[in-house]
Amino acid sequence: MFEATRMLFIYVETPLHVGAGRGLGVVDLPIQRECTTNYPIIQGSSLKGRIRAEAEAKVKTGAGDLIPADIKAIFGPKLNENASDHAGALSIGDARILLFPVRSLAGVFAWVTSKHALARFLRDAKTVGITPNWAFSIEDVKEDEALVGNETELIAGNSIVLDEFSFKPVKNQKNVVKDLGKWIAEHALLKKNNNDSIDEYAYWRSVLPRKLCILSEDAFRDFVLYSTEIQTHIRLDPKKKTVQSSALWTSESLPVDTLLYAPLMATRSRAKGVDLDAEMVLKKIDDLGLTRSQLGGDETTGQGVVAFRLAGSNESVSKEG
């Protein structure tokens, strides 16, 4: 049984393509999705591999107090290193969608979510010991409605227009959307370190409550399914500088400003000679100081840059920041 837990928030800073292989639809290279909801996900194995690579890089450069034995104990042996000896002490769940950015007629863009997506987050948050202050007074949202805060920037005339779809704005009397937005801004977005000269996420934390809206489950599902970024790629003949035959394809990416979350769970180390309890395992991850990393494909074109924020029982996450 897991003995210590945290929540890893993942904020997309450049288009993110974590692929699912060759697609059968109109997109040649789609992103990973859940089979039941079609919501975008990042499989836990991808996250674990990325964090392990970051830890190994720290060991090579001598940064921090990690040693190779710690990495083997935390993440488990590699396939070519007697992988059957023991399992790793760290377990990382799939990253699920929490907020999705959509073009808006007013306010430039909106972060959208749904009661279903929020209910799933609360369930996962409970698993890692987090109880947000807004749980759970969100009312049902009709198909043509958008639940927004009293200070929203998204209303154009009498409507909220997202992409080409119009919604009727509804303001909750308890202003739960504002509380939700403030909680996410405080606990999920990258925070300023003491050594930083600027707080690059100060703007995003301030506007998130005003750009947030809660849609019906079907409307949210349609946006995360059809409003992702589709990029067209070609390969040129190096001599003719024309497109090579059969060298045109499309790939799908999560757009900039998407927010996902993944639970981190740990047990005591199973490796011989390495005495790490569950809290020490997660502290080793926290001490990596990961604020940014690269996930998925297209690394050489600057894509897949994400910001990490680790939250959990060591923070006062049950109170509004």
Q: pLDDT higher for 130 or 23?
A: 130
In a domain, 113, yes or no: yes
Give start and end residues of each alpha helix (H) in the chain: 44-61, 68-75, 115-127, 176-187, 202-211, 217-226, 278-286
Q: Domain for residue 286, yes or no? A: no
Q: How far apart (Å, rounded) are the C-alpha atoms in residues 112 and 293?
A: 25
Q: What is the pLDDT of residues 146-203, one digit of tens each?
A: 999 999 999 999 999 999 999 999 987 778 899 999 999 999 999 877 677 788 999 9
Angle at alpha carbon of residue 246, lines to 245 and 247, rounded to 5°: 90
pLDDT band at 115 (very low <50, low <70, confident <90, very high): very high
Instruction: Dump pLDDT digits (tens) for 31-71.
Output: 999 999 999 999 999 999 999 999 999 888 876 678 888 89
pLDDT at 114 over 50: yes
CA distance 61 to 63: 6
Report yes or no on 124 lying in a domain.
Answer: yes
Q: Tell me which of 103 and 316 has the higher pLDDT.
A: 103
pLDDT at 317 over 50: no
Q: Is residue 156 part of a domain?
A: yes
The per-residue pLDDT of the chain, averaged, comes to: 88
- Return d(Cα 82, Cα 181) in angstroms, integer: 46
Residues of the chain above pLDDT 70, percent: 93
User: Which residues are CB-neighbours of 149 under 8 A, at least 6 positions away?
Assistant: 171, 172, 175, 177, 178, 181, 209, 210, 212
Number of domains making up the chain: 1
Residue 252's φ and ψ, nearest 5 degrees, are -105, 140
Task: List residues bridging with 233 in a β-sheet.
Answer: 249
Mean pLDDT of 20-39: 86
- The pLDDT of 121-131, averaged and rounded, is 91
Do 310 and 6 form a contact (C-beta atoms < 8 A)?
yes
- Give the Cα-Cα-Cα angle 193, 296, 269 (nearest 5 degrees): 65
- Answer whether residue 201 is part of any domain: yes
Establish if 31 belongs to a structural domain: no
In a domain, 280, yes or no: no
| Cβ atoms 117, 125 nearer than 8 A | no
The tally of CA atoms less than 13 A away on the side-chain side of residue 106 is 17
Helix, strand, coil share of the chain (percent; to 5): 25, 30, 45
User: Domain span at residue 135?
Assistant: 100-225
Contacts of 42 (CB under 8 A, 6+ apart): 10, 18, 32, 94, 95, 260, 262, 295, 296
Q: Residue 235: phi, psi to the nearest 5?
A: -125, 125
In a domain, 69, yes or no: no
Residue pair 267/68 in contact (Cβ under 8 Å)? The answer is no
